[in-house]
Amino acid sequence: MSERRCSTLSGPVVKDQYKVSPFLVFYLVHSVQVGVGVMGFQRISASTAGNDAWISVFGAGLSLHIIIFLIYKILNKEKGDIISLHKNLFGKWIGGLLSWIVIVYFVAMSITVLRTYIEVIQVWMFPDLNKWLFGGVFLLLTYYCLSGGFRVVAGISFFGVVLPFYLVLTMLFPVFYGHFQDLLPIFNHSVKEIYEGVKGASLSFLGFTTLFLYYPFIKEPEKSHRWAQGGHLLTTIMYTVLMIVTIAYFSTAQLEKTIWATLTTWKIAEMPFVQRFEYIGIASWALVILPNLCITVWAGGRGIRRLLKVSQKSVTIPLLFLILVLSSLFAKRENIDLLNEYTSKVGFYFVYIYVPLLFVIQYVKSKVVKAK
């Protein structure tokens, strides 16, 4: 067990042997943000913000630096996770209910990631792919990683960033064919349209809120703040550059009809040893999806363990089976789109409304307690 039986009012006491170094938070944050969303976020943002969509993406990234700052302010004061935070702020029953809602959100994220990746493979590579079989094998690999504990999850996140990082170079292919004058005029859209573009890009940045669960597993967690900000900064730069390149390569009319803009740009690549580079890109993307699944499933399972006080194995296996069943129920493209849309909306309000609300409530309560 990675957690002692007794816990303080502030949260669980995790043994040092199960904790990870602060610098690994860089990879934990970045790897969970870069998932399936990067394959087609451009169309969603550009549908409202047009050629100013890159401003929406950049603005979303900057605003989330503030949210990460608030999360660290909350957790540094709490010295625990979101489960203990809810209990201390709202009591056992209301706090428990709110914790279950957060758990459902993380599980929904894992379902969204898995089902969307399977859809990409079905559309671009193998139309007759059995989603039950592929999903089962992928989740079996996820279980193997989770059974090693959070340190293994952090290690998978490290390799999930480093190994497929060569794919960043593929952004150079459309540059040679791009028309960067299409970015002009800048601020050609209203504030409302750019704001809608921010909401559309939010799914691509989601996942870093898992920090609420793995914070106690970080050695000297206060020192990990700069690494979390650094991981998110890398994500922001990548998405902004990719959005700029996409706008330059596609016309507005083309982008509105292109579901997987990133994958489409991979088709430009011409190499003497491979004809369809997108096959290599999609296969390599499994290294990106794996840490995404590991972190979100671990967060959901961790929350359940904290609430029900049960063992890891008794939670992880049923949870993975539930994810497999629910992800396989989404058969049509329209249903998968709705899954992504609702997950994005919930994540948007969780990040931009609930996190600041938690910060305010914690601040007010601490002032009241000091006054007494």
Q: What distance in Å separates the CA atoms of residue 197 and residue 252, rounded to the nearest whole number?
A: 14
Write down the pLDDT at residue 7: 43
- Taking a C-beta distance cutoff of 8 angstroms, is the pair 112, 347 a contact? no
Indicate the residue type of 197.
G
pTM to 2 decimal places? 0.93
Write down the pLDDT at residue 30: 96
Write down the pLDDT at residue 10: 56
Describe the chain by its helix, strand, coil percentages, rounded to 5.
80, 0, 20
Indicate the residue type of 10.
S
Q: What average pLDDT does range 244-265 have in this prediction?
A: 90
Buried b (16+ CB within 10 A) or exposed e, 291-303: bbbbbbbbbbbbb
- Read off the pLDDT band of 369 (50, 70, 90): confident
Write down the pLDDT at residue 346: 93
Q: What distance in Å separates the CA atoms of residue 208 and residue 201, rounded to the nearest whole number?
A: 15
Q: What is the pLDDT of residues 50-105, one digit of tens each?
A: 899 999 999 999 999 999 999 999 999 999 999 999 999 999 999 999 999 999 99
Find where tokens 């064919």 sit.
177
Report CA Rg, the chain: 21
Domain boundaries, the chain: 21-356
Write down the pLDDT at residue 251: 86
Write down the pLDDT at residue 53: 92
Write down the pLDDT at residue 347: 92
Cα dist from 294 to 1, 210, 267, whole Å: 19, 11, 29
Q: What is the pLDDT of residues 314-331, one digit of tens each?
A: 999 999 999 999 999 998
Q: What distance in Å separates the CA atoms of residue 44 and residue 259, rounded to the nearest whole number?
A: 9
Q: What distance in Å separates the CA atoms of residue 129 and residue 285, rounded to the nearest whole number?
A: 17
| Length in residues, the chain | 372
Find where tokens 């914690």 sit.
362
21-356, what's its fold? Amino acid/polyamine transporter I (1.20.1740)
Q: What is the pLDDT of residues 352-366, one digit of tens each?
A: 999 999 999 999 999
Q: What distance in Å separates the CA atoms of residue 181 and residue 184, rounded to the nearest whole number?
A: 6
Reference 212, options 108, 291, 300, 292; nearest CA is 300
φ/ψ region of 309 (left if φ > 0, alpha if ψ in -120 to 50, else beta) reads: left
Q: What is the pLDDT of residues 257-293, one digit of tens each?
A: 888 999 999 888 777 777 788 899 999 999 999 999 9
Listed in sequence order, the residues at least 6 apart from 263 whose beta carbon sits closer than 8 Å to its beta carbon are 39, 40, 120, 124, 278, 281, 282
Residue 178 has pLDDT above 80, yes or no: yes
Write down the pLDDT at residue 6: 43
What's the chain's average pLDDT?
91
